[in-house]
Amino acid sequence: MRQKAPSGDESRIKDNGALTDGATPADGSPHAHTDAASMPAFHPLDIPQQSLDKRIVAYIQQLIESGELRAGDRLPAERELAAQMGVSRTVLREALHTLAAYGLVELQHGRGVFIAAGSAQAAMQRLTLAMTTNVTEPQMRDLFEIRRTLEGAAAEWAAERATPEQIASLRANLAEGLALYQSGQIDGGVAGALDARFHAALAAATNNRAMMSLMAALVDELAFAREQSLAIPGRGLRSLHQHEAVVMAIEERDGPAARRAMLEHLNDVERSILKTLAGEDGLDES
Ligand SMILES: [Zn+2]
């Protein structure tokens, strides 16, 4: 699945020769490679065709992580880079858009593609998680087993301890989701972010900081699979209704009911994701 890039990049990179030679390196980093000779050699990738753009992203990301590419480095011209890696320019462009969308590279108007200054560790982390395309079924089951334990408890504790403000922010998430679905302005990415924020808000409503950080880590692990499953028509709205059941139980201060509603939600989402991984349409008609 193609990663989204900010709109407008497509034309920028295509139309103005953003990847042509002769540009000067971005300022700001004392570590930038200053000449082509010190750039790492890009080698051909032997990889399955369907996930090529993701593999290129992972590869360049790895070069940044290992320090072979540094902030301020300008990547070779698109044609040259594509040739070095043995990939098409189209798929290379997609990969660069993804990297740019996550802030790891900058597509500078007419100058080229630069490794972003201070490529934030957070950006790197987000990208890694988003790119976790090879999530296997056993890994997913493991994750959901933990999520049921943690988030079941989180829902119950939230029912017992959430402040009115915290409940209001859960409600606000539901309202935002409903508005998005009603306007039709929703896709897997938007729905995924909304879902992640709901679960984060729920963790916050436990007023247990350890719970909040554990949940943040788990929710991130699921980013890619969530986005895919939420791109299934009907999945996001279904999640929204299940979230509402959790919130209603919390409002009624009914801990066991909140836990049950959360478990129902997680079981249903797990089924969707497993079906997505298996290449089915992901929705249970029940
Ligand atoms: Zn959810």
Residue 3 in this model has a pLDDT that exceeds 50: no
Distance from the CA of 199 to the center of ligand 1, in angstroms? 6
How much is the average pLDDT of 169-181?
A: 93
Each residue's pLDDT tens digit, 113-172: 988 876 556 566 556 655 555 567 787 888 889 899 999 999 999 999 999 999 999 999
- Catalogue the E-assigned strands of 97-152: 105-108, 112-115
* 125 and 164 fall within a common domain: no
Distance from the CA of 266 to the center of ligand 1, in angstroms? 7
> Does 282 reside within a domain?
no
- Report the distance separating Cα 246 and Cα 263, nearest Å: 9
Other CB atoms within 10 Å distance of the CB of residue 168: 12
Distance from the CA of 251 to the center of ligand 1, in angstroms? 18
Query: Residue 54: how many CA atoms within 13 Å on its side-chain side?
Result: 16
What CATH number corresponds to the domain at position 48?
Answer: 1.10.10.10
* 160 and 203 fall within a common domain: yes
* 143 and 273 fall within a common domain: yes
What CATH number corresponds to the domain at position 211?
Answer: 1.20.120.530
- Report the distance separating Cα 38 and Cα 72, nearest Å: 13
Q: Between 261 and 87, where is the model more confident?
A: 261
The pTM assigned to this predicted structure is 0.55
Distance from the CA of 201 to the center of ligand 1, in angstroms? 11
Please give the pLDDT value at position 49: 45
Please give the pLDDT value at position 241: 95
- Report the distance separating Cα 107 and Cα 97, nearest Å: 8
* 110 and 153 fall within a common domain: no
Distance from the CA of 190 to the center of ligand 1, in angstroms? 13
Domain tally, the chain: 2
Q: Which domain holds residue 260?
A: 137-277
Distance from the CA of 152 to the center of ligand 1, in angstroms? 12
Please give the pLDDT value at position 160: 97
Distance from the CA of 279 to the center of ligand 1, in angstroms? 21
- Catalogue the E-assigned strands of 102-181: 105-108, 112-115
Each residue's pLDDT tens digit, 243-271: 999 999 999 999 999 999 999 999 998 88
- Which residues crowd ion ligand 1, with CB under 5 Å? 195, 239
CA distances from 98 to 45, 46, 66 (A): 18, 20, 19
Distance from the CA of 262 to the center of ligand 1, in angstroms? 8
* 14 and 99 fall within a common domain: yes
- Report the distance separating Cα 127 and Cα 257, nearest Å: 36
Distance from the CA of 4 to the center of ligand 1, in angstroms? 22
pLDDT band at residue 207, thresholds of 50, 70 and 90? very high
Q: Among the ranges 32-41, 96-105, 181-190, 204-213, which has the highest mean pLDDT value? A: 204-213
Q: Between 218 and 112, where is the model more confident?
A: 112
* 170 and 227 fall within a common domain: yes
Each residue's pLDDT tens digit, 21-45: 444 445 555 567 767 777 877 777 6
Distance from the CA of 241 to the center of ligand 1, in angstroms? 10
- Of 48-52, 114-118, 161-165, 233-237, the one with minimum mean pLDDT is 48-52
Task: Evaluate the CA torsion angle 195, 201, 206, 212 in order and state its sign.
Answer: positive
Please give the pLDDT value at position 280: 63
Distance from the CA of 204 to the center of ligand 1, in angstroms? 15
Please give the pLDDT value at position 138: 83
Distance from the CA of 236 to the center of ligand 1, in angstroms? 9
Which residue matches tokens 């909040």?
Answer: 212
